[in-house]
Amino acid sequence: MSQWKDSGKLGLILLVSPLALWLALFIVLPHIDMVLISLRERVAARQYAFSWGNYTEFFTEPLYWRTFLRTAVMSILATGLTLLIAFPVSFYIAKMLRGRLKAALFILCLIPFWVSELVRTYGWMILLRETGLFSSLLQWMGLVDQPVEMLYNDVAIMVGLVYTSMLFMVVPLVTTLESLDDSLIEAAYDLGGNHLEVIRDVVIPHAMPGIVSGCIVVFMLTLGNYLTPTLLGGKDSLWFTEQIYTQFITRFNWEQGSAFGMLLLVLSSVIVWCGLKLSRQSFTRVMT
Amino acid sequence: MKRLLKKSTLILASALAMSSQLHAETLRLLTWGGYAPQEVVDQFEKETGIKVDVTKSNNEDMISKLRATRGAGFDLAQPSQDRITSAQADFDIYKPIDLSKIDANRFISSMLEATKKNTAFNGEVYGVPHVWGTSGLVVNRKQAKGVMDYTDLCQSALSGQVSYRLKRPTLIGFAYALGEDPFAAYSDTKKYGEILAKVEKKLIDCKSNVKAYWSGGDELLNLMRSGEVKAAMAWDAGGWKLNSENPDITFVAPKSGALGWIDTFALPRKTKAEEAAYKWINFVMQPEVAAKITEAAGNFTASKGGDKFVNPKLKAQFNESFPPADVDNIKWYPPVPPGLEEMEGKVLDRVKAAQS
Amino acid sequence: MQLQANNTDVDLECREVTKSFGHFAAVQEVSFSIPSGSFFSILGPSGCGKTTLLRMVAGFQSPDHGDILIKGKSVLNTPPNRRPVNMVFQHLALFPNMTVAENVAYGLKRRGVAKTDIKSRVEDMLSRVGLPDSGDKQISQLSGGQKQRIAIARCLVLNPDVLLLDEPLGALDLKLREQMKVELKHLQEKFGATFIYITHDQSEALVMSDQVAVMNAGRFEQVGAPQELYYEPASRFVAGFVGESNRWYGVIQERDEKGFNVQCETGLKMRIDRPGNDLQVSHPWGVGKKLEFYLRPESITVTLGDTAPATTNRYKGKVESVLFDGARSQMLVRLPDAIELLNVALPQTAEFRRVKKGDVVSVGWMSGQVRCYEV
């Protein structure tokens, strides 16, 4: 018996060790390195000293924390919009459809993800630009008499972000909604609830773990997105990841970039934690 | 079974030998688009047996890549001459060039001397010149007639129809157009800061004119081609390329002077194919080969006599954009002292964040 | 059933209700009416259309033809949330995110009843179903039987004209099911509400109901009191579905004015008088007619040894096996001139306690106890 137990333990170790190794080598170590880099400052060529300067810079230079705030607010908005659009879609897929049609619609949601994000974003650029499809269409229909620029503004960013995030909201929502017993919905109707009340009292409480996990994933993805806001936002994109990229790549300022990276990690975790508290969900419940 | 084992060992061994051989015979080149056209690469491989692995990049990316690996991963890089010493001072990513291995006769000597001077650090030379060109204005002459200088991009008639990069050349160009001499102020941080403040204000005022800040050459070409952008700050080669497609568009040397740059050859500190690198340098500096590169990149090289073999059309375009007086007016980038780029970075951040 | 004529006392009436799914006719021209305050069961095998019928009454499906009236008014155009009927679902469908009290209060809240009123009515209802202190509990803290009661309380607190129950005992274990049967019946009597109960379990239907409708293939085969169904099944299906029976196929050999002599395919010969219900007595069945016969195990008289019972049909046989199940014990008896085994209820007397395989017994039944149906 004990021998069997021992071998079970060994099996567990064997199973977990690749994951642990992967986590340690590719997640933990780089982050430790990032923290160390972020805590130093260039004093002269090839000379660095310990400093909190990179962190204080974030809070003292309004540009940086404003950019972060804007990124966070836009991300929350994008998450909300994605949820608003994805919820009816998911409900339709999970509850109204059966069999082949259901699979077909699900795959339709998946198809955009068969091409890279870059290509998808360029697709939007082709549609939205001044000499693009929408502008030409509007002119052809006589609704406008000169080209309209729909690219390079916050709305374009929002469209791109919501589009990119859709699947990550639809999947958890469909999964949780599928597990909702139809008779619960019927019971709520039977007891006198109207459509809105049934959704509020039965569907949403049941789908809450899916909603929250979808929102976390979409929020984190949006916050960490680089291509979409940069390409679609143009001169006013002002996305925090862009700030990090700039520090690392064009300014060679790894110290500042690392500090921004850590701040993004911590601040976004705080926002997610607040979201969990507000929706009274626990992380373990949402993620399982 | 034994035979199988023997056989597979043999295969494995030969594969390893081949790959190591391959490794030794490969030149990993970190360069700009157009600087290593396939034709030239093929010819080089045929003559020397050395394979060339080309990675396209830009100044900042080159420094970042080499910094991340502390000078490994590539055997030859092509940063601009003004960006070598500061990067070397801070990150120690290059190794000095052994000038004895360079065939100096193949270079335009004035350009070679100037580059040697500009890339000297602690008494050693870190770069030799390859391709040179300018940045200035690319203008659609029909739709944006009045654009003669960088600041003309801010004319109210061009609202939402111009484009430039949010990088240091823009700061320098605008500084000159505003009547300042930023290169002279390189050593005077205070003065340079004042100039930057002036430029920052101008760029923020000008922001509403900008359609988009371009970041890749193709992006700009598309914006100009589609007519969405009427005038832009860009490299001369791009302007000439567009000119071949649409005669209305061409490169214009700004009144306050085009900004001249020289892209060099520099050896990454941990280069593994130094000999191959020198072979490549001497190979591409041959006039016939240099002409092919000019053809592909759209810019002239430091190869002595190379321009003789260049397509006359490009020469005509060059002469049209650069009357003799304008050639003399080119402002060549001096090496950037450390610390300046940080100041510039903050200015660029603030411009980006400003609301137009 | 006598009250049917008086419309005000009928809670629910269905008129030729028909519903098809594609080519499948789930419910075909079903008509019935249920008097106020009665316990009405619809009994049928799965797939017979009983759930569809119930869902049409609840409003989750609408009939293709026919009409559904509650208290004399058609409800076809009334959505489920406005119908004066409530439903107890097969898996109860209690809201897991609400407490017991919130579950019970849900319908009242939706009707806009005042908060204080809701509180007292919920408390009252909880004590009436015997769970006075469980208002603050979570649904997951309740036992199966308690959940059952809450599900019913949640509906009854709304005073529905008709309460629909969709096999709510199906998920419970046997013991609890037996107990809940009685409890449900008590609840129904206590509240005086009209219950429509659908089930495939005949014992549930027979124990609880005032009236039972036996449904098969979308139609009602027979509607009647449990005793009627059991003793006077109107069709082969009802005879086979309700209760246990010995069953034979056979042909009429001789016929006289009182009945006929038949021979079964298994070789068994017997006398049948006044066959079937009154309707079938007048049936002009002649010699050579093929029939199916049903005989309840408890209708068979059995004696030990050779002493023949005083019945019209008498046979000698051997005990093949004894299926002991307390009060419902049976034994299988093989008759010498028949292939089939006869299913006989084991008499609850001392002399049969030790009966075992191989014992010789005499069996017999009265000629009027066999039911026959046209094949």
CB contact under 8 A, A190 and C106: no
Extents of the domains making up chain A = 61-287
CB contact under 8 A, B353 and A66: yes
How much of chain B exceeds pLDDT 90, in percent? 69
The CATH code of the domain that includes C365 is: 2.40.50.100
CA separation for the pair C314, C303 (Å, rounded): 11
Task: Please tell me if residue C86 touches chain A, with a CB cutoff of 8 Å.
Answer: yes
Where are the domain boundaries for CATH 3.40.190.10 in chain B? 2-132+261-324, 135-259+331-353
Identify the H or E element spanning A188. helix A182-190
Instruction: Find the DSSP H helices in B25-162.
Output: 38-48, 59-68, 84-91, 109-118
Beta bridge partners of C323: C330
Chain B: residue whose CA lies nearest to A256 = B342
pLDDT of residue C42: 95
The CATH code of the domain that includes C128 is: 3.40.50.300
**pLDDT of residue B333 exceeding 60:** yes
Q: Which distant-in-sequence residues (6+ apart) come within 8 Å of B72 by Cβ?
A: B66, B268, B269, B270
Q: Burial of A145 by CB count in 10 Å (0-12 exposed, 13-18 middle, 19+ buried)?
A: exposed
**pLDDT of residue B148 exceeding 90:** yes
Long-range Cβ contacts of C74-83 (<8 Å, 24+ apart): C79/A189, C80/A186, C80/A189, C80/A190, C81/A189, C81/A190, C81/A191, C81/A192, C81/A193, C81/A194, C81/C110, C82/A192, C83/C58, C83/C59
Domain match, C261 and C369 both: yes
List strand residue ranges (DSSP E) for chain A, in order.
40-44, 47-50
pLDDT of residue C304: 86
pLDDT of residue C3: 40
CB contact under 8 A, A246 and B349: yes
Q: What is the pTM of this model?
A: 0.81
Q: Which residue has the tokens 């309700």?
A: C242
Residues of B with a Cβ under 8 Å from any A Cβ are 60-61, 63-64, 67, 87, 89-92, 160, 167, 207, 210-213, 226-228, 338, 341-342, 345-346, 349-350, 352-353, 355-356
pLDDT of residue C224: 93
pLDDT of residue C4: 44
- Cα torsion A187, A193, A198, A202 to 10°: value is -50
Low-confidence ranges of chain C (pLDDT < 50): 1-7, 276, 279
CA separation for the pair A76, A219 (Å, rounded): 6
**pLDDT of residue B103 exceeding 90:** yes
Report whether CATH 3.40.190.10 matches the domain B135-259+331-353.
yes
Domain match, C214 and C341 both: no
In this structure, the number of other CB atoms found within 10 A of the CB of residue B264 comes to 27
pLDDT of residue B8: 59
CB contact under 8 A, C110 and A193: yes
Higher pLDDT, A253 or B75: B75
Q: Which residue has the tokens 């002409």?
A: B291
Look over chain B and give the mean of its residue pLDDT values, rounded to a whole number. 89
Identify all chain A residues contacting B342, using CB atoms and an 8 Å cutoff: 251, 253
B349: number of CA atoms within 13 Å, CB side?
A: 24
Q: Which residue has the tokens 């030794």?
A: B24
A260: number of CA atoms within 13 Å, CB side?
A: 27
Chain A: residue whose CA lies nearest to C82 = A192
pLDDT of residue B9: 58
Domain match, C45 and C14 both: yes
CA separation for the pair C44, C311 (Å, rounded): 34
Q: How close is the nearest chain A Cα to the Cα of B237, in Å?
A: 23
pLDDT of residue C279: 44
Identify all chain B residues contacting A248, using CB atoms and an 8 Å cutoff: 64
What are the pLDDT digits (tens) for B298-310? 999 999 888 888 8
Specify the number of domains making up chain C. Answer: 2
Q: Are B55 and B31 in contact (CB under 8 A)?
A: yes
pLDDT of residue A117: 86
Domain match, C235 and C250 both: no
Low-confidence ranges of chain A (pLDDT < 70): 1-7, 286-288
Looking at C240, C270, C302, the residue that finishes a domain is C240
Annotation: CATH topology of B2-132+261-324 = D-Maltodextrin-Binding Protein; domain 2 (3.40.190)
Identify all chain A residues contacting C97, using CB atoms and an 8 Å cutoff: 205-206
CA separation for the pair C4, C27 (Å, rounded): 23
Question: Which SS3 state, helix, strand or coil, does residue B231 take?
Answer: strand
Beta bridge partners of C24: C21
pLDDT of residue C316: 87
Q: In chain C, what are the helix, strand and coil shares in percent, each to the nearest 5? A: 30, 35, 35
Q: How close is the nearest chain A Cα to the Cα of B215, in Å?
A: 10
Identify all chain C residues contacting A187, using CB atoms and an 8 Å cutoff: 87, 89, 93-95
B352: number of CA atoms within 13 Å, CB side?
A: 26
pLDDT of residue B52: 94
Residue B47: both structure tokens together = 């003559």
Residues of A with a Cβ under 8 Å from any C Cβ are 181, 183-184, 186-194, 197, 201-202, 205-206
Domain match, C358 and C328 both: yes
CATH of domain A61-287: 1.10.3720.10
CB contact under 8 A, A235 and B338: no
pLDDT of residue C2: 39
| DSSP classification of residue A45 | T
**Which candidate from B64, B167, B341 shows the least CB-CB separation from A248?**
B64
How far apart, in Å, are the Cα atoms of C337 and each of B201, C246, C306, C359, C360?
Answer: 117, 16, 16, 17, 14
Task: Please tell me if residue C60 touches chain A, with a CB cutoff of 8 Å.
Answer: yes
CA separation for the pair B347, B231 (Å, rounded): 23
**pLDDT of residue B266 exceeding 80:** yes
Q: Are B331 and B259 in contact (CB under 8 A)?
A: yes
Chain B: residue whose CA lies nearest to A130 = B228
Task: Report the complex ipTM.
Answer: 0.80
The parent domain of residue C92 ranges over 2-240
C272 phi/psi in degrees, rounded to 5:
-125, 125
pLDDT of residue B180: 93
pLDDT of residue C5: 43
